[in-house]
Structure 1
Amino acid sequence: MARLEDLRRVALSLPGAHEVTYKGDPWFNVGKKSFALQVGGRTILKLDRGHQELLFEVRPETFAKCKVATVHWAYVELDHLDQAELAELVTEAWSQIAPKKVSRPVLAGGR
């Protein structure tokens, strides 16, 4: 079962990632762009559109469309994830906004 502290640890381990606070909630950014955030206690990740659509269909208890942002965002129930899955999802979200020259080596396993 994953928690916010796990999300924070994974997010901040990624190149260029930093945490900001918006209205008291933690947001994880690269530059000024967010890839993971909490709003009112709910976690939101910026996932690949095709992947998130699959997740919405096969795991609706864990993933839901985020109605307050673009279709590239998904609500995620952290307590339904294990540590490995959380790390994969946060890395995917980060790769959606990180510069390709930074994200490619990480995605290839060569941080």
Structure 2
Amino acid sequence: MTGIEDVLRLGTELERSYPVHVRGRLKFRVGQIVYVAFSLDETIMGFAFPRDERASLVAGDPHTFSMPSASDLRFNWVHANLAALDPSEARELVVDAWRMVVPQKVSRAYDLTHPDGPG
């Protein structure tokens, strides 16, 4: 079971990433791009995810993952039930979402300093 605290530190430590609160919701951004956001009750984590892969992610584990609302389907976005994730899986999703919004050289530098993955 994962809680927001399991990914909070990671989101602040990733290069170019910073937390913001928008209408009471915690979000992580790189520049103006949001790559992770939490529901008001902090039970759902929305995250950047390749649009062409999200249907198979959701179909493979519908208890954990769900599609975003109809108004957000145009974005590269998926929702996860935090309670259904283990902390390492949640951290991996955050890092992968972050990779989608940073330059490749920043992502490669992270790989050099974290050879065992997010953590």
Q: TM-score range by the shorter chain?
A: 0.7 to 0.9
TM-score by length of 1: 0.88
Task: For residues 55-94 of structure 1, give each alpha carbon's deviation from its aligned partner in whole angstroms, at most 9, with x where no partner exists.
Answer: 1111011111101312411111111111111111000111
Q: 1:71 to 1:29 in 2, by over 3 A?
A: closer
Q: Distance in 2 between matches of 1:79 and 1:63?
A: 11
Structure 1 counterpart SS, 2:55: helix
Q: Distance in 2 between matches of 1:93 and 1:24?
A: 21
Which of structure 1's runs of 4+ aligned residues deviate more than 2 A?
Answer: 39-42, 48-54, 108-111
Query: Offset at 1:110?
Result: 2.6
1:64 equivalenced with 2:66 (yes/no): yes
TM-score (norm 2): 0.82
- Matched with 2:117 is none
Amino acid at match of 1:4: I
In structure 2, runs of 5+ residues without a counterpart are 115-119
Segments of structure 1 that go 5 or more residues without pairing to the other structure are: none
CA contact (8 A) 1:46 1:74 kept: yes
Decide whether the 8 Å contact of 2:20 with 2:27 is kept in 1.
yes
Percent identical pairs in the alignment equals: 27
Number of aligned positions between the proteins: 110
SS at 2:21's partner residue?
strand
